[in-house]
Chain A
C-alpha cells in the first residue's frame, strides 16, 4: 500500500465518522438552545475533553511546534501556563459562576451574557462584532495549520488541503450544531492525544531520550535549554499569557461552562481537563527537539509535519495527521458556532423577546435554520481568507486572541464577581482594551511586548475607574444576576 493510499484511507474513515456524528446530532437539535449550547445537558467527560480539543487546535500543535523549534525548551513555560491558567484556574474561577449566571439570565452567548448582566445593548453589540470579526481571523489560523500538515505529510497542495478540511467541518457543524461540535470534539481530543504521544515517543527514541536531546540542543545553542533562553522574558511572558489568560475571555471555551448539565460536572471535569491540558507539553517539546533532526528548515511551521514524516511510518504519520486535523477541526467547529451565535442571537437580537412576545415553535425552527446558514457563511469567509494565508500560524492566533481578550475578558470575569461593575464601565473598558491592543500591535509591539498585555491591563483599569465614577448598576439587575431573593 502506498503512503498516499494509507493517508487517504485513514483520513476518509475519520471524515466519515465525523459527518455521521454531525447528521446524528442534527436529528437531536430541535431548538436554538440545542443548537448553541446542547440544551445544557453535557456531562463531565465530554465537557472536559471538548474543552481541551477546542483549546488546543492545530495552532498549538503546528504553531507551538514552530515556537519550540525557534526558541527551544523555554517554550515549556507556555505549556505550563496553558495547564495552570488556561485550564485548571479557568475551570475553578469561572466554571461555576458562569453556569449559574447564564442560567439565571437565560442567555446562551457571551455577548448575550454581557448585555443582560450589565443591561447594555451597546456592550452586547460591540462584543458580538469583535467576536464575529476576530474569531474569523482566528479560524483562518486554524485552517492554515490544517493546510500545512496535509501539505507537509500528504504532499497535496495547500489550497486543496484547506478547502477539503474546511468543507467537511462546515457540513457537520451546520447540520449538527453544538451537540455535533462537543461530541466530535470529544472523539477528536483522544485522536489528538494519541497522535501527539506517538510523535513524542518516536522523536525521543530517534534522538536517544530526553537527556540526550537536551545535551544536543545545548550544543547547538545553550539558550535552547534555558529559560527564558533565546526568546527573552518579554516574548515568553507575552505569549504565555495570551494563550493561557486569554482563555478567560474566549467565548468558544467559556461556552463549555454554561452547556454543562450541572455544576457537579466541574468536579470530575476539572481533573480531566487538567490531565488533557497537560498534553500541551508535547508539541512544544517535540518542536524543540526537531531542531536536532531538522536543522535547516525554511519555515518553522513545517517543523512538526516534517518531523512526523521523518520519524513515523506511514500508518503512524496518517494517525498523527488525523490527530492534527482533529485538533483543527474541533476548534474551527467550536468557533463557527460562536460566530453564528454572535450574528443570530446578539447582533440580530431576539426580536420576540424584545417585543415581549411569547416564543413560538416555528421561531425555534427558524432560529436553528438561521444559525445553520450563519455558521456556513462564517466558515466560507474563513476559507476565503485562508486561501492566501497572511502570516505565521501562532502570530495570527495571538493577534485575534489579544483583541478578543482585551474586549471580553474583564467584562466576563468582573461580571460574575463584582456587583459594582456597571454598563458605562464595561462599555468604555471594551473600547479602550480593543483600541490599545490593536494600536499596540499596529505600532510594531513596542519593547517586544504583545498588544495583549497593555490591552488587557487598560481594559481592567478603565472598567474599575469608570464604574466607580458612574452610578452603580440597577439593583434589580444585580439581584437577578446574583440570584438574590430566590427561594
Chain B
C-alpha cells in the first residue's frame, strides 16, 4: 500500500520520526529552561 508522495508507509514513517524529533527537541528545551529557572541552576555563565 502506497503512502504520501508515493513512499511506502514504512519509508514515510522515517520522515515522521524526523518531524517528531524536532518537536521533542523543542519540548525538551522549554522544559529544561523552566526547570533551570526554578532551580536557579544550569551552569555558570
Residue from the set A99, A215, A263 with the largest chain B CB neighbour count within 10 Å: A263
Asked whether A80 lies within 8 Å of B15 as measured between CB atoms, the reply is yes
Asked whether B32 lies within 8 Å of A79 as measured between CB atoms, the reply is no
Contacts A83-B18, A266-B32, A275-B22; A100 near B11 (Cβ below 8 A): no
Main secondary structure of the interface of B (DSSP, over half): helix
Minimum CB distance partner of B25 in chain A: A274
Complexed CA–CA distance, A210 and B15 (Å): 13
Q: Does any Cβ of B come within 8 Å of A92's Cβ?
A: yes
Asked whether A270 lies within 8 Å of B11 as measured between CB atoms, the reply is no
Distance (whole angstroms) from the CB of A88 to the closest CB of chain B: 5
Asked whether B32 lies within 8 Å of A84 as measured between CB atoms, the reply is no
Asked whether B33 lies within 8 Å of A80 as measured between CB atoms, the reply is no
Asked whether A262 lies within 8 Å of B44 as measured between CB atoms, the reply is yes
**Residue among B15, B28, B36, B42 making CB contact with A92, cutoff 8 Å:** B28
Asked whether B6 lies within 8 Å of A211 as measured between CB atoms, the reply is yes
Q: Does any Cβ of B come within 8 Å of A309's Cβ?
A: no
Residues of the B chain whose Cβ atoms lie less than 8 Å from the Cβ of A212? 6
Q: Does any Cβ of B come within 8 Å of A264's Cβ?
A: yes
Contacts A80-B17, A278-B18; A225 near B11 (Cβ below 8 A): yes
Residues of the A chain whose Cβ atoms lie less than 8 Å from the Cβ of B17? 80, 83-84
Residues of the A chain whose Cβ atoms lie less than 8 Å from the Cβ of B32? 266-267
Interface-side segment among A69-77, A147-155, A409-417: A69-77
Asked whether B7 lies within 8 Å of A88 as measured between CB atoms, the reply is no
- Chain A 253-276, CB within 8 Å of chain B: the 1/0 string? 000000001111011101101110
Contacts A73-B11, A100-B43; A214 near B6 (Cβ below 8 A): yes
- Chain B 3-31, CB within 8 Å of chain A: the 1/0 string? 00111101101110110011011101100
Complexed CA–CA distance, A271 and B42 (Å): 17
Q: Does any Cβ of B come within 8 Å of A140's Cβ?
A: no
Distance (whole angstroms) from the CB of B1 to the closest CB of chain A: 10
Asked whether A88 lies within 8 Å of B6 as measured between CB atoms, the reply is no
Tell me the chain A residues, 75-131 only, with Cβ under 8 Å from chain B.
Answer: 76-77, 79-80, 83-84, 87-88, 91-92, 96, 99-100
Asked whether B42 lies within 8 Å of A270 as measured between CB atoms, the reply is no
Q: Does any Cβ of A come within 8 Å of B38's Cβ?
A: no
The number of residues on chain A lying at the interface, defined by a beta carbon within 8 Å of a beta carbon of chain B, is 40
Asked whether A73 lies within 8 Å of B7 as measured between CB atoms, the reply is yes
The number of residues on chain B lying at the interface, defined by a beta carbon within 8 Å of a beta carbon of chain A, is 25
Complexed CA–CA distance, A132 and B14 (Å): 35
Asked whether A214 lies within 8 Å of B7 as measured between CB atoms, the reply is yes
**Residue among B6, B8, B21 making CB contact with A84, cutoff 8 Å:** B21
Q: Does any Cβ of B come within 8 Å of A227's Cβ?
A: yes
Asked whether B42 lies within 8 Å of A76 as measured between CB atoms, the reply is no
Residues of the B chain whose Cβ atoms lie less than 8 Å from the Cβ of A226? 8, 10-11
Residues of the B chain whose Cβ atoms lie less than 8 Å from the Cβ of A91? 25
Asked whether A76 lies within 8 Å of B5 as measured between CB atoms, the reply is no
Distance (whole angstroms) from the CB of A267 to the closest CB of chain B: 4
Residues of the A chain whose Cβ atoms lie less than 8 Å from the Cβ of B42? 262-264
Complexed CA–CA distance, A267 and B21 (Å): 15
Minimum CB distance partner of B28 in chain A: A92
Contacts A83-B21, A99-B43, A270-B25; A227 near B6 (Cβ below 8 A): no
Residues of the B chain whose Cβ atoms lie less than 8 Å from the Cβ of A245? none
Asked whether A271 lies within 8 Å of B18 as measured between CB atoms, the reply is no
Complexed CA–CA distance, A100 and B17 (Å): 30
Contacts A76-B14, A92-B28, A264-B36; A210 near B6 (Cβ below 8 A): yes
Residue from the set B5, B15, B25 with the largest chain A CB neighbour count within 10 Å: B25
Residue from the set A91, A211, A225, A226 with the largest chain B CB neighbour count within 10 Å: A225
Complexed CA–CA distance, A397 and B13 (Å): 27
Tell me the chain A residues, 210-232 only, with Cβ under 8 Å from chain B.
Answer: 210-215, 218, 225-227, 229
Q: List 30 A-B contacts (CB under 8 A).
A: A77-B11, A77-B14, A79-B18, A83-B18, A84-B24, A96-B43, A99-B43, A211-B5, A212-B6, A214-B5, A214-B6, A225-B7, A225-B11, A226-B8, A226-B11, A262-B42, A262-B45, A264-B36, A264-B43, A264-B45, A267-B33, A268-B29, A270-B25, A270-B29, A271-B25, A273-B25, A274-B25, A275-B25, A278-B18, A281-B15
Q: A268-B29, A270-B29 are in contact. List 10 more A-B contacts (CB 8 A).
A: A80-B17, A88-B21, A210-B5, A214-B5, A215-B6, A225-B8, A267-B29, A271-B25, A271-B26, A278-B22
Interface residues of A (CB under 8 A from B): 73-74, 76-77, 79-80, 83-84, 87-88, 91-92, 96, 99-100, 210-215, 218, 225-227, 229, 261-264, 266-268, 270-271, 273-275, 278, 281
